[in-house]
Amino acid sequence: MPHLLKMLFAAALGATPVVTPLLTTADAAPREPYGINLEGYAYPYPVHSFAVTSGGEQLAMAYMDVAPAQPNGRTVVLLHGRNFPSSYWAPVIKMLGEAGYRVVAPDQIGFGKSSKPTGDLHFDDLARNTIALLDKLGIAKADVVAHSLGGMLGVRIARAYPDRVDHLVLTAPIGLEDYRLYVPPTPTEKIIANEDMLTAETYRKQLETNYALKLPPDQVTPFIDARFNLKGSPDYPRWLRAFVASAQLIYREPVAHEIPLISRPTLFIMGADDHNAPGKPNAPEPLRAKMGQNAELAKKLAAEMPNARAEVLPNTGHLVFLEAPDRYRDLVLDFLGK
């Protein structure tokens, strides 16, 4: 496991990391590239595999299933964002486990350690896969805690399967507006070319800017590592096409119009500084400033819903649960306990 990744997981799991001198770039030995399903990239808990048929393809869905020491009889399903493997939920898994919750954290098809399909991604397919996983695990009902792109999926699950969802926590979700109103359609090949031009350093700057990150650089490095150590793999072009399919998913399948129809108790937890809006650079200049007013959008949507509220955390960006962990813990555990 890379040194910085060890430190991140140690901190997340409450251990005291052993700090040893870092190798300089000149001293570091060449490292074998990760596989297309992040083979070689360590997760904080054992990873299991579940067979699914999605888009006509036979695929494997990876997931962590973490039992608490003292169960309270309830389960939380964690839904990850687009730029992050489910491993980044490590501190939230620990937090929920200490409170007695069983935690299921899947990598959706197309992400992390799950299969990369050759076709398009669809929220209905991802929702069905997630419910099929719960069926396999014998979980009739669960709380759903989602982040970023996972928030869009959480909305679809809560709308399509309301009887399977107890509480819904939308953590810095994207999709609170219909991006098609601002951004013209962008060809897949153009997005692939733009993504392929990124270097590790420009990707870091992109994350820091788009997500208004308040994290120290070392805590961001594992996310850079998860993507850019794939570049040496012969499967990288296929991975990249699957990654770009998720960008088109966000654009083509908006959920903003469904959010006011959610009947389950819902909590939005927003970073005040989070103005992330996928596709904003491709929007006409006069429209860009109107995009990504996420905290205000969450408050407006919550007011239109039968049982929802929005909490906005000051001096916080897109990675709310890593940037403001204490406040996040208090909000989530209080909400789930009601």
Q: Do residues 23 and 64 lie in contact, with contact meaning Cβ atoms separated by under 8 Å?
A: no
Contact residues for 24 (Cβ-Cβ < 8 A; gap 6+): none
Report the pLDDT value the prediction gives residue 232, as an integer from 0 to 100.
84
Instruction: Report how far Cα 17 is from the mean position of its chain's Cα atoms.
Output: 25
Which pLDDT belongs to residue 30?
A: 60
Q: What is the pLDDT of residue 149?
A: 98
The rounded distance, in Å, linking the Cα atoms of 16 and 23 is: 20
Mapping DSSP to helix (H, G, I), strand (E, B) and coil, where does residue 246 land? Answer: helix
Q: How many CB atoms lie within 10 A of CB 311?
A: 17
Residue 30, phi then psi, degrees to nearest 5 = -55, 140
Alpha helices in the chain (DSSP H): 3-12, 90-98, 123-136, 149-160, 188-196, 200-210, 217-228, 236-252, 285-288, 294-304, 320-323, 325-336
pTM of the entire predicted model: 0.91
User: What is the mean predicted confidence (pLDDT) over 155-174?
Assistant: 98
Above 80 in pLDDT, residue 4? no
114-152 residue pLDDT tens: 999 999 999 999 999 999 999 999 999 999 999 999 999
CA-based radius of gyration for the chain: 19
Q: What amino acid is encoded at 290 in this protein?
A: K
pLDDT tens string 233-276 = 899 999 999 999 999 999 999 999 999 999 999 999 999 999 99
Q: Which pLDDT tens digit goes with each residue over 291-310?
A: 999 999 999 999 999 999 99
pLDDT category at 55 given cuts 50, 70, 90 is confident
Q: How far apart are CA 103 and CA 179, in angstroms?
A: 32
Does position 25 have pLDDT exceeding 60, yes or no?
A: no
Q: What is the pLDDT of residues 61-85, one digit of tens each?
A: 999 999 999 999 999 999 999 999 9
Using alpha carbons only, give the angle 326, 140, 127 rounded to the nearest 5 degrees.
Answer: 75
Half-sphere exposure of 65 (CA within 13 A, CB side): 12
Answer yes or no: is pLDDT of 18 > 70: no
Rounded to whole angstroms, the Cα distance separating 285 from 182 reads 10
Residue pointed to by tokens 């990504």: 292
> Quick one: pLDDT at residue 17?
33
Compute the mean pLDDT over every residue in the chain, rounded to the nearest whole number. Answer: 91
Q: What is the pLDDT of residue 14?
A: 40
Task: Please give the structure tokens belonging to residue 204.
Answer: 């870091």
Residue 11, pLDDT score: 40
Sequence letter at residue 239: W
